[in-house]
């Protein structure tokens, strides 16, 4: 039911700004690599009675009464997650990818112990950095050797470092995730040093589930952490998947989720994850395939129009993501602002050996998953690339280009790859 707004200045301010935001994004091309659109069935569960409830602990072992049906739903959602990822274990309680990462750090290392992770300039997530969850845990970070031409870990150089330093934990996965991590290539070395192997699949979780990227649990990872709202188009939340080397390892993960880092785990989101997982079982392979096709077509079209697209040696990308070096166009911050003026939503990003800072980097990070979600295909990627060229290379007025962005976007207003296809993608939700 739709509720009338009261005569309250604060309430009206909040609703009016969210409505304006919704109208803006309805007319925009959204290419943030860490975002997506939920399906109508998934969104609907965010306003159930689960929104108001607590369920500390595990199904059947709660600290609150009233969880009979919560337990049934959570158990089923875990079963669906295991089925989707062919995973022996699953924990669907983390409320974000980062809280899942925090749980992993507290499970795998003690203060002072060494862990390996990618460098931030090479695409790592901030939770693995010294000022992120890894550092706050007191871990001692060492970064992998990076091959910037391949946009991936230098296998031979990293193998030598692993054998020399023998870290307690090796973290793979990035926020700039163009190509599969070399788990198979390093597997023998990782087994030799007997470390915990953790794969942060936040960005590529939907591609993994869609069988179009890599299979970390079969390639040597003991756990996967991830976000449920990027290439896997579910509600904003997290998940941990396990193929643990022993029972104690998985018990440690479960304990660090609760009581270690979570209390209530947002039951409305937990249940909505189950819908997203079920939809991805049905549509995920087709969706993941089209995401990668679109990303590769987009990257190639940008390259042909004069942009410096990283990862050229291996075809620019094998995921949803692309990275541009736009230092010649004024840098990532200026380019992202100009694109936003034209209703193209992107984000500035550090690139390997970047002389800039996080707020003034040299790069742009792009993602094709949301454009794919609304029905765009390879031919449309060329149209979007041309819009980029007009603004960033042709120096055309972004407000003039904005008219063509709105015109293009007008044909793509519904959700695809879900149980309720062709439903409006952009709602002003005022429902109880």
Mean pLDDT of 319-348: 98
Average pLDDT, the chain: 94
pLDDT surpassing 60 at residue 193: yes
In b/e form, how buried is each residue of 345-369, taking b as 16+ CB within 10 angstroms? Answer: bbbbbbbbebebeeeebbbbbbbbb
pLDDT surpassing 50 at residue 90: yes
pLDDT tier, 432 (very low <50, low <70, confident <90, very high otherwise):
very low
Could you write out the DSSP letters of every residue in 328-383?
A: GGT-HHHHHHHHHHTTEE-EEE--TT-SS-SSS-SEEEEE-HHHHHTT--HHHHHH
How long is the chain?
432
pLDDT tier, 203 (very low <50, low <70, confident <90, very high otherwise):
very high
Question: What are 20-62's pLDDT values in tens digits?
Answer: 999 999 999 999 999 999 999 999 998 899 999 999 999 999 9
- For residue 259, count CB atoms less than 10 angstroms from its CB and return exposed for 0-12, middle for 13-18, buried for 19 or more: exposed
Structure-token match 């069988």, residue found:
211
Question: What are 112-166's pLDDT values in tens digits?
Answer: 999 999 987 877 787 777 777 777 788 889 999 999 888 999 999 999 999 999 9
Question: What are 64-77's pLDDT values in tens digits?
Answer: 999 999 999 999 99
Question: What are 236-255's pLDDT values in tens digits?
Answer: 999 999 999 889 999 999 99
User: Which residue segments constitute the domains of the chain, with CATH numbers given?
Assistant: 43-279 (3.40.640.10), 283-424 (3.90.1150.10)
The pLDDT, as a whole number, for residue 429 is 61
The pLDDT, as a whole number, for residue 4 is 85
């Amino acid at each position: 039911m739709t509720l009338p707004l009261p005569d309250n200045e604060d309430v009206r301010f909040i609703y009016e700004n969210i409505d304006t935001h919704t109208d803006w994004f309805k007319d925009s091309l959204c290419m943030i690599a860490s975002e997506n659109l939920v399906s109508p069935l998934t969104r609907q569960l965010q306003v159930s009675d689960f929104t108001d409830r607590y369920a500390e602990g595990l199904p059947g072992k709660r600290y609150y009464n009233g969880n009979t049906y919560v337990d049934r739903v959570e158990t089923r959602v875990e079963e669906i997650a295991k089925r989707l990822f062919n995973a022996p274990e699953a924990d669907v309680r983390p409320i974000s990818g980062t809280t899942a990462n925090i749980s992993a750090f507290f499970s795998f290392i003690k203060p002072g112990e060494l862990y390996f992770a990618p460098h931030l300039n090479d695409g790592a997530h901030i939770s693995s950095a010294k000022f992120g969850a890894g550092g706050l845990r007191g871990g001692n970070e060492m970064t992998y050797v990076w091959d910037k031409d391949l946009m991936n870990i230098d296998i031979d150089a990293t193998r030598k470092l692993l054998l020399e330093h023998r870290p307690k934990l090796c973290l793979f996965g990035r926020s700039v995730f163009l190509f599969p991590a070399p788990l198979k290539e390093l597997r023998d070395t990782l087994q030799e040093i007997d470390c915990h192997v953790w794969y942060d699949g936040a960005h590529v979780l939907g591609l993994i589930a869609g069988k179009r990227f890599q299979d970390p649990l079969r390639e040597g990872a003991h756990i996967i952490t991830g976000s449920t709202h990027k290439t896997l188009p579910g509600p904003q939340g997290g998940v941990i998947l396990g193929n643990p080397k022993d029972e104690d390892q998985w018990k440690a993960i479960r304990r660090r989720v609760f009581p270690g880092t979570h209390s209530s785990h947002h039951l409305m989101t937990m249940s909505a994850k189950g819908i997203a997982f079920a939809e991805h079982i049905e549509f995920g392979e087709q969706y993941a395939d089209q995401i990668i096709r679109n990303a590769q077509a987009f990257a190639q079209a940008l390259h042909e129009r004069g942009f410096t697209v990283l990862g050229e040696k291996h075809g620019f990308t094998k995921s949803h993501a692309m990275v541009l070096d736009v230092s010649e166009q004024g840098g990532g911050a200026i380019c992202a602002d100009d694109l936003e003026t034209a209703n193209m939503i992107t984000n500035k990003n550090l690139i390997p050996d970047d002389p800039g800072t996080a707020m003034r980097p040299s790069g742009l990070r792009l993602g094709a998953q949301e454009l794919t979600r609304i029905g765009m295909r390879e031919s449309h990627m060329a149209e979007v690339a041309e819009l980029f060229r007009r603004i960033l290379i042709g120096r055309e007025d972004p407000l003039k280009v904005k008219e063509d962005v709105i015109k293009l976007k007008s044909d793509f207003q519904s959700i695809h790859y879900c149980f309720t296809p062709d439903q409006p993608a952009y709602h002003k939700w005022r429902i109880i």
